[in-house]
Amino acid sequence: MTEEEKVYKVLDELEINYTCHEHPPLYTVEDAKKFDIDIPGAHCKNLFLKNKKGKKHYLVILEDSKRLSFNDLSDALNEKLSFASERRLEKYLKLKPGSVSAFGLINDINNEVKVIIDSELKKFEKINFHPNVNTKTLTINFLDFENFLNWCGNEFFYCDMITYYIRP
């Protein structure tokens, strides 16, 4: 079973409705903007981080029009943070760069990755993530996203101090 098929299987088991949008490969938020793809709901930037010692890992989810303030988040967590390596991304979430997604948590069977979500995402009815491949985007209800996170069992929390807007 592929990583993508695992996502559909879990969503179906949880009775989470989704809409699948196919598109060219998107490696970054900037790529998505170049293609001007019209998909309703919040578009998410997903960042896989580690602490300085490499003992803790975080999946940070924020709206794509924002940038993470590493200093503010580091201060809030009392941890020096940096991007995790491609090797760590593969080890914990079984993902490749360019396809980082909350759905990768399906593969974190030991619940080692903590999830930090920009609290402003709660204002959206719909939210979008890659199904662990960057050639498709799935749209689901935000409440279903929370149900998915609860099913995964990873610790997650909302934070409203971790981002600033990118100026147009």
Give me the number of domains the chain comprises: 1
- 11: Cα within 13 Å, side-chain hemisphere: 24
Residue 139 CA, distance from chain mean position: 13
The encoded tokens of residue 84 equal 């995790």
Residue 65 lies in a domain: yes
Residue 150 lies in a domain: no
Structural domain of 74: 3-140+155-165
Q: Which tens digit of pLDDT belongs to each residue from 26-55?
A: 666 676 676 667 788 998 999 999 999 999
Residue 110 lies in a domain: yes
Residue 82 lies in a domain: yes
Long-range contacts of 124-129 (CB under 8 A, 24+ apart): 124/41, 124/42, 125/41, 126/40, 126/41, 126/42, 127/41, 127/42, 127/44, 128/39, 128/41, 128/42, 128/43, 128/44, 129/44, 129/46, 129/101, 129/102, 129/103
CATH at 19: 3.90.960.10
For residues 116-135, average pLDDT: 94
For residues 74-91, average pLDDT: 94
Residue 148 lies in a domain: no
Q: Which tens digit of pLDDT belongs to each residue from 90-111?
A: 999 999 988 899 999 999 999 9
Q: What is the pLDDT of residue 36?
A: 63
Residue 41 lies in a domain: yes
The encoded tokens of residue 47 equal 């960042």
Q: What is the pLDDT of residue 11?
A: 99
Residue 149 lies in a domain: no
Residue 147 lies in a domain: no
Question: What's the whole-number average pLDDT of the chain?
Answer: 90
The encoded tokens of residue 77 equal 């967590």
